[in-house]
Amino acid sequence: MFMKIGHRGAMGHAPENTLLSFSTALKMKVDMIELDVTLCQSGEAVVIHDDRLERTTDGNGYVKDHNLEDLKRLNAGKGEQIPTLVESLNFINRKVPTNIELKNGAVVPAVIKIVNQLVKEQGWSLDDFLISSFDHHALKAFKTHIPDIRIGVLLGIIPLDYAAMAKHLNAYAINPCIDFINQAFVEDAKMKGLKTFVWTVNYAEDIKRMQLLGVDGIFTNYPDRL
Ligand code: G3P
Ligand code: MG
Is 93 a domain residue? yes
CA of 7 to the centre of ligand 2 (A): 7
Is 219 a domain residue? yes
Is 66 a domain residue? no
What's the rounded Cα separation, in Å, for the pair 75 and 206? 33
Is 59 a domain residue? no
Average pLDDT, whole number, for the chain? 98
Is 126 a domain residue? yes
User: What is residue 119's predicted lDDT score, i.e. its pLDDT?
Assistant: 98
Is 57 a domain residue? no
CATH of residue 145: 3.20.20.190
Is 90 a domain residue? yes
Say what percent of the chain tops pLDDT 90: 100
Is 192 a domain residue? yes
User: What is residue 28's predicted lDDT score, i.e. its pLDDT?
Assistant: 98
Model-wide pTM > 0.80 = yes
Domain total of the chain? 1
Domain span at residue 45 reads: 3-51+83-225
Across residues 107-127, what is the average pLDDT?
98
Closest residue by Cα to atom 6, ligand 1, is 199
**66 among known catalytic residues:** no
